[in-house]
Structure 1
Amino acid sequence: MRLKSLFILYILIFIPLFVFSQQNQLDSGKKYTIGEITVSGAQSFNELTVITFSGLKKGEEIYIPGQRISNVIKKLWDENLFSDVNIYVTDIQDNIVDLEINITELPTLNETTITGIRKGKAKELLKELDLTKGKKVTKNLLTTTENFIKNKYKDDGFFFANVMMNTNTVVDSTGEEIGQNLNINIDRGKKVKVKKIHIAGNNELTNAKVRRSMKNTKQKNPIRIFKRSKYIKSAYEEDKASLVSNYKEKGYRDARIVSDSLAIVDEKNIELFINLEEGRKHYFGDIRFIGNSIYTDQELKNFLGIQKGDTYNGVLLQERIADDTDPDADDLTNAYQNNGYLFSRINPVEVNIQNDTIDFEIRIYEGRLAYFNNVTVVGNDKTNDHVIYRELRVRPGQKYSKRNVVRTIRELGQLGFFDPETIAPEFKNVDPNTGTLDMEFRVEESGASQIELQGGYGGGGFVGTLGLSFNNFSLRNIFNGDAYRPLPMGDGQKLSLRAQASSFYQTYSLSLVEPWLGGKKPVQFSLSFSHTIQYFYDFREREADRDRRFLITGGSIGLAKRLRWPDDHFVLSHAISFQHYNLKNYNTGLFTFGNGFSNNLAYTIGVSRNNTFTNPVFPLGGSEFNVTAKLTPPYSLFNNVKYSTLDSDPEFQNPDGSPNQGLIDQKRFNWLEYYKIKFKGTWYTNIIDKLVLRPQVEFGFLGAYNLDRGVPPFERFFMGGDGLGAFSLDGREIISLRGYPNQSLSDQDGNTIFNKFSLELRYPITLKQMASIYALTFIEGGATYDGFKNYNPFQLKRSAGAGIRIFMPAFGLLGIDFGYGFDPIPGTFQANGWETHFIIGQQF
């Protein structure tokens, strides 16, 4: 094609030269000296530039026509700047010739638009095509662009994608041409489907087993629901590698795909043909370790976990040496790198193959111990250095440990002050000769303060919440005016202010958390205060009676310490809390006395373990457990009150001799006596890509030391809904269960036992710093009970649904769930059906 174009150009050039020679008696066998060189037809190029491009010089001797002229034409053509090039002889004086270079410029690209696909996809495609303004519009550019788009969509399964390209000239106000606009119209068509996958050459594995090893490429099957049969080239290439790996895992070391091909059946279907060569099944023979001095052969064999006679598994062998998918894997490489041997190298070598048995040597180069020289953190322009450095698990002079590097990344991500997706360690000045390295952790600050705006309809009325959380507060600078930007920040403390109100209650709270009390050890100190005014509410009239009220005032102080045993993911916490309940003319079904008070002094001890991965908003792995026990003093052991005989005590009787239940309950509950046990466990499992499975189990029990005194009407469990109905601070706990109205699955006065089981499948849409968004589906079940005599963990209210979560640093977690309740709520006989839940400032 290119030779044809050049041939045409030569004809176009030589014809004018030939004609001129006939008129001016140009001698083709004679050398001429170039006189003047002029340029015509140029628009954006000046004359000197074109002459420079040509390489012709005044005084140069050339043959006309001749190879030199041909080379000049070719050179100008190769610049891809001109659509036409001609060279004319304009004058001859003796042996001196004047030349004219006549050029026609290629049009330049002005604006490119893509239609036929979504705007977001069009924007991404424009970036890939790199069709920047000012590029020359050549046939090659248009052809290359069209082929690129077609191949791109073909790789995604759109085999019959059609691309139409149109250009139109753009002129300015004076009528002068300023470029060409390019419009690309794309008709993707439909993705082709895999009608059939033909397998040949397989004897040991059936066709079905071979196809199952291809996770993403499936042939048509009307029974299959979750995996479609659309063809995507990149996925198919991955599946071919998975197919071979599947054979290698089963001992077929030499398995390979001899050939594969694709046949188009029609515009909707294709068929794939895969020809295999399985080879024979192999087994591990002797495995020897060479070069090891730090670990014994037996220790390395324990790490390797492979015995002589085991079926050969090349994939497993590589994972046991270095598992690239898990930075914390118990493999040989991590065994060395966690012990300081950064420069170690481990290579498995096949040293003997006899029949079906393969002997291996694991050749180890240990190198010298590596130590951290300098450890730095960059990118923190708000958070003070000491807040970061106290979380680092690596120190200058410390022996290198990959585990500690990974743990440092997790700890920095869990702080919540930085974008966890961008935290990265950089190795610098790594010197194997001296055994030293510098490490730099790069962080990007994210918004640490949050505004909580929460609203919902619960408890018979609209509930609104306004909260401010300053998660990187600096208490020591509270009196430093220069530190207010707009508030003193950077010391890692958390200050929260919260107000919640409806037509019949108001509640205010203040809390402060210092994660490193004294700055020396990870001992967390917390302090909180709250006050609630709750009025009697007539649900029929929808009016609040402000002469009948329930006042609750309380606070708590707590300490939590990170443990070293069983490992340093464990935290032991202690807290002392006090609430004073004051009832004034507040007669309800929950309280038998309308005037009086109760006090709730309790000690809470808890053990928790959290080793979830770096991003606290969207963990890809790990688990979180929490066990707490909330205990009040056993007053009935030393107050000498016989609660079983209170109804016969004249002090607690009405004038007619009947028991006054209000007075009795005022005596029983003047100081609350109970114990409360809770457990919560959450697991995160990364299934594939960033698809995460999150099971969760919860259990709670409220009990009494003295059965005659009984369980108090406070601290009870209420289940159902999204949790926004938690309008009272009487110690009640709202257990969310989507698919049902708020608190609809418990008795009016709450219950003393609950259990809940949930299973979520999550996938992120984006995990950017400005907003992390993920979608989820869920199934869950739960119930509340009164005492163990009614407890049945399998008698659950069930639901399922889907939702979406959006985490923005300034507002916290936002989301919406659509849940379907499969069971009737108490008092009804039909499945509850669909419920919509708005998740604002909280997380399931």
Structure 2
Amino acid sequence: MKTIPLSLIVASVLVQAAAHNVQSIQYDGMVHISETVAKRLNEVKVGEPLDPSAVDKTIKNFYDQGYFEDIWVDETDGKVTFHFKEKPVISKIELKGYKENDEAAQKELLQIEKGSLYDEKRLENAKKRIIDALSGDGKIDSVVEIDSEKLDNGSMRVSFIVNEGEEIIIKQVRYAGVSALDSDDFDSMIANKQEEFMGWMWGRNDGKMKLAELQYDPLRIRDYYMQNGFLDAKIDEPFVQVDFDHYTAQMDYNVFEGDVYRVSDILVFQDTAVIDDKELLDVIALEKNKPFNIKTFREDADRIKTKIADLGYAYVQVQPDLRKDKEAKSVDVVYRITPGKKVKIRNVIVSGNNRTLDRVVRRELFLAPGDWYNLTNLKDSRNAIGRTGYFESNTIEEKRVDDETMDLIVQAKEAPTGNIQLGGGYGSFGGVLVSVAISDRNIFGSGINVGLNLERSQRTSNYSFNISNPRLNDSDFSGNFSIYDSSTEYDSYTVSSTGMSVGTGHRFDRHWSGYMGYNYSTNNYSDIDPTVTTLDPRYYENYAKSSVVLSATFDNTDDYYIPREGVTFSQSIEKAGVGGDADFIKSRTTFGAYRGLQKLTDFDLILRYKARFNYVDDSGYLPLGEKFYMGGIGSVRGYQGYSLSPVNGVDSDGDPFKIGGTQTFSNSLEFSVPLVPEARMRATAFVDYGMIGENSLSEIKRGGYGVALEWFSPVGPLQLVFANPIGDKPGDDVTHFEFTIGQRF
């Protein structure tokens, strides 16, 4: 910043001011501030003598705007001119040596964009953020240099050059004063852990020090003690000894445990009684005469808040308190409740749904204008919108109007629900393949699901059309209709199938729904090789299937594609024999449980468990095509789809002829973590295990493991699976790669 030669100005002004008042004011070189704004900042007035103090104050006002590198003033015959040299514009900014390929991280660290004014203070702040981030990663002795260059066009190029420091590895963590608890349990709480053998492996502690977390680790240990009733526990800040020659460290904690406190009484006090105290006590999980648990204590406060907020008291406040009796080693648990006033919903505003119709969103809401506020209904509304699969994300903002009125603003970000796939290829079995698939789960934003599939090769043809509406006329009833025609030419025979299905469902409440449908198909065999004598002729009998399906479904998850909480369950029964030739009863059971572990792991880790059990009973005639097969996505990955099956005889090539099973069970355990969050890309590690048999589940057992890439691509949810089999046998058809588009992860 160039200082104004005030003494010269004053001398000049004193001479000129005796003869002239200010006749006019001009601004030279000013771009970022308009003349109107400049006049408001200017203390110098036309028609008045030129006052040096007014000039000085005006210059300060202009400098405070942050746009100028230098300002000076001259005066001639009453004409005052303010000259400005503006700060140059940054035309190129880059971060080298750290997060070079992470645009989101760079934006967060630098907070300076192209076109910004060159400001050394902002550059220094960005440098500090980079160093803090490196410290948070456990790097010490990091160096960040700022290289600035003025280009020929007058703009600036700015480069932040990072030399990452070294990571400190914690070789030993010791605790003095620990006797009542096992110090090994602290590892699940603290961020800075002792290095374990082969710590580089997934699930092991690598011992890298996280400097930013050091101050919080003692609080985490104390919280763990308080979860076990030790209310007087004290944990000092860790004493850290660092060997800077080898960048290793040893940490020592001094712990005072104290005694275990038991709950002596649980009390609730309402400023205004809006609910019976007994109803509040019923939702409290803490028990008298049991050790106190700070985690349960907090959860109880949330449960009380929800209980009262569900009555319309949106602004209820719950203040938990503890009354310790150090002599008796007991504690009274007290909840003081200020309900406030009951709140009504004034308006519900839906935004972000550029394609999806408002009514499609509103029918998933359990709160409407005129309703009393209800916290549970609000949460269930968010989850219901997420379960549609029409939106990438959604939030419901509570906008306070006054003490008794609130607006709800639904902000949704739409996800791609439709795709067109044109494909072709060549296979050793089917030869040249051409396929066209068009589908949309939310066609024209109506919530209606439509799909058309056309596929043709030298040996196969598949044509299908389906349409379904989950909310007929925005009611709790659903409807679906589909038709298909397929043909496959095998070495020993050709099978053709034509069928249709129609059904209707009903949503009984926000989580339970039922379905009843009817299916009909004809299945014909032709071109049977007369030389094949090892197979039972009944496998080639033409048949018609006429069946009724009944099912029930439970789903309280928070999202359709990537749920982080909730459970799914479905049970269906199909009875064939209502006309037609086939006569059997088929049962399908599925279960899924989802748990987000971000609170425990500090990142978006999702645990999934999925299980499937299928059973079919031959009550007259069970065709080969109605039995079960295992393998591939949806059962046991690492094996080709539908390749695991009991066998009977051989086909014309001498290969085992697979006849399917009457019962099968498979389950999967998955851990999903973010890979590229800004692209909604995740990586998932999984283990699968399944069983299938004709007379018992123990006939065939197989497992698989691997990783999957889950990505919300421009053509819809895409899953790439890389798997290896476990316990495979000679003759098994294994595969190491599969993919799906449009399915729930």
So what's the TM-score if we normalise by structure 2? 0.82
Offset, 1:206: 5.2
Q: Does 1:792 align with 2:698?
A: yes
1:14-29 mapped onto 2 (5 Å cutoff): none
Match of 1:694 in 2: 608
Match of 2:739 in 1: 838
- How far is 1:815 from its partner? 2.2
Paired residues for 1:399-798 under 5 Å: 399-419=372-392, 421=393, 423-432=394-403, 435-452=404-421, 460-461=429-430, 465-473=435-443, 489-517=444-472, 519=473, 521-537=475-491, 549-564=494-509, 568-587=510-529, 592=537, 597-613=542-558, 615-633=559-577, 671-688=581-598, 689-706=603-620, 711-722=622-633, 736-746=635-645, 747=647, 748-765=658-675, 772-788=680-696, 791-792=697-698, 796-798=701-703
Give distance in 2, aligned partners of 1:817 and 1:61: 78
Aligned residues: 709
In structure 2, distance between residues paired with 1:360 and 1:466: 65
CA 459–552 in structure 1, closer or farther in 2 if over 3 Å, else same: farther
Partner of 2:221: 243
Q: Look up the SS of the partner of 1:586 in the other structure.
A: coil
Tell me the CA shift for residue 285 of structure 1: 2.2
1:314 alignment counterpart: 294
Measured in 2, the distance between the counterparts of 1:717 and 1:61 equals 96
CA distance in 2, matches of 1:456, 1:492: 33
Deviates more, 1:69-78 or 1:231-240: 69-78
| Distance in 2, Cα, partners of 1:78 & 1:523 | 64
The structure-2 alpha-carbon separation of the partners of 1:167 and 1:783, relative to structure 1 and needing over 3 Å to count, comes to same
| Deviations 1:674-713, CA, capped at 9 Å, x for gaps | 221221111112223421111111121222124xxx6432
The answer as to whether partners of 2:90 and 2:118 remain within 8 angstroms in 1 is yes
Cα shift at 1:43 = 9.1
Alpha-carbon distance in structure 1 between the residues aligned to 2:290 and 2:669 = 37
Conservation of the 8 A alpha-carbon contact between 2:44 and 2:55: no
Q: Deviations over 1:139-181 (max 9, x none)?
A: 6565554444223312221212222332333224xxxxx1442
SS of 2:391's partner is coil
Q: Percent of counterpart pairs with the same letter?
A: 21
Measure how far apart 1:509 and its partner are: 1.0
Secondary structure of the equivalent of 2:416? coil
1:182 to 135, 158, 183: 158
Superposed displacement of residue 622, structure 1: 1.0
Note the alpha carbon deviations across 1:333-363, whole angstroms, 9 max, x for none.
1111223332332222335635222224322
* Equivalent residue for 2:263, pick from 272, 284, 296: 284
- The CA deviation string for residues 27-75 of structure 1, in whole angstroms up to 9 with x for no partner, is xxxx9886799xxxx99469x999x98989996688xxxx999999999
**Aligned partner of residue 305 in structure 2, secondary structure:** helix
Q: How does 1:1-150 map to 2 (within 5 A)?
A: 44=29, 109-121=90-102, 124-126=105-107, 128-132=109-113, 143-150=124-131
Contact preservation (8 Å) 1:453, 1:841: no
**Is the CA contact 1:585–1:594 (under 8 Å) kept in the aligned structure 2?**
no
Q: 1:259·1:274 contact (CA, 8 Å) conserved in 2?
A: yes
What residue ranges of structure 1 are gaps of 5+ in the alignment?
18-25, 173-177, 323-330, 474-488, 539-547, 636-669, 723-734
Q: How does 1:195-206 map to 2 (within 5 A)?
A: 195-200=171-176, 202=178, 204-205=180-181
- Cα deviation, 1:71-94, whole Å, max 9, x if unaligned, reads 999999988888899999x99xxx
The structural deviation recorded for 1:780 is: 0.7
Q: Choose 377-386 or 297-306, whichever is displaced more.
A: 377-386
Rate the CA distance shift 1:772–1:125 in 2: closer, same or farther, 3 A.
Answer: closer
Shift of 1:262: 4.4
Deviation at 1:506, TM superposition (A): 0.5
Residue type at the aligned position of 2:314: L
Q: Distance in 2 between matches of 1:222 and 1:741?
A: 38
**How far 1:280 moved relative to its partner?**
4.2
Cα deviation, residue 715, structure 1: 0.5
SS of the aligned residue for 1:718 comes to: coil
1:179/1:351 CA distance change after superposition, 3 Å: same
Aligned to 1:667: none
Q: In 1, Cα distance between the equivalents of 2:61 and 2:542?
A: 99
| 1:469, distance to aligned residue in structure 2 (A) | 1.6
CA displacement 1:764-816 (0-9 Å, x = unmatched):
34566xx642211111111321123xx328x62111111102234x6333222
What is the one-letter code of the residue matched to 2:406?
L
Please give the residue correspondences for 1:224-373 in structure 2 after superposition, counting only pairs within 5 Å: 224=199, 225=201, 226=203, 227-260=205-238, 262-266=240-244, 268-291=247-270, 293-322=273-302, 331-351=303-323, 353-355=325-327, 356-373=329-346
- The alpha-carbon deviation at position 758 of structure 1 amounts to 1.3
Match of 1:806 in 2: 711
Q: Give how far 1:507 is off.
A: 1.4
Give, as a single letter, the amino acid of the residue that structure 2 aligns with 1:677.
Answer: S
Instruction: Measure, in 2, the Cα distance between the counterparts of 1:61 and 1:369.
Output: 61
Deviates more, 1:239-248 or 1:524-533: 239-248
Alpha-carbon contact 2:635-2:690 (below 8 Å) kept: no
CA contact (8 A) 2:267 2:334 kept: yes
Q: Which region of structure 1 is more displaced relative to structure 2, 406-415 or 338-347?
A: 338-347
Name the counterpart of 2:721. Answer: 817
1:159 aligns with 2:116: no
Greater Cα shift, 69-78 or 367-376: 69-78
Structure 2 unaligned segments of length 5 or more: list them: 648-657
8 A contact 1:721–1:740 mirrored in 2: yes
- Give the conservation status (yes or no) of the 8 Å contact 1:458–1:742: no
Structure 1 length as normaliser, TM-score?
Answer: 0.73
Distance change in 2, residues 1:236/1:450 (3 Å): farther
Q: Answer yes or no: is the 8 Å Cα contact 2:614–2:664 preserved in 1.
A: yes
Q: Contact 1:522/1:561 (CA < 8 Å) preserved in 2? A: yes
Q: Mark the CA change 1:374 to 1:219 in structure 2 (over 3 Å): closer, same or farther.
A: same
Deviation at 1:579, TM superposition (A): 0.9
Distance 2:100 2:406 in 1: 47
More strand by share: 2
Partner of 2:353: 380
Shift of the 202–73 alpha-carbon distance from structure 1 to 2, 3 Å rule, reads farther
Q: Distance in 2 between matches of 1:581 and 1:180?
A: 74
AA paired with 1:151? Answer: D
Matched residues in 2 for 1:841 and 1:395: separation? 32
Closer/same/farther in 2, CA of residues 170 and 397 from structure 1, 3 Å limit: closer
Deviations 1:705-746, CA, capped at 9 Å, x for gaps: 24xxx6432302222234xxxxxxxxxxxx642112333322
CA contact (8 A) 2:92 2:114 kept: yes
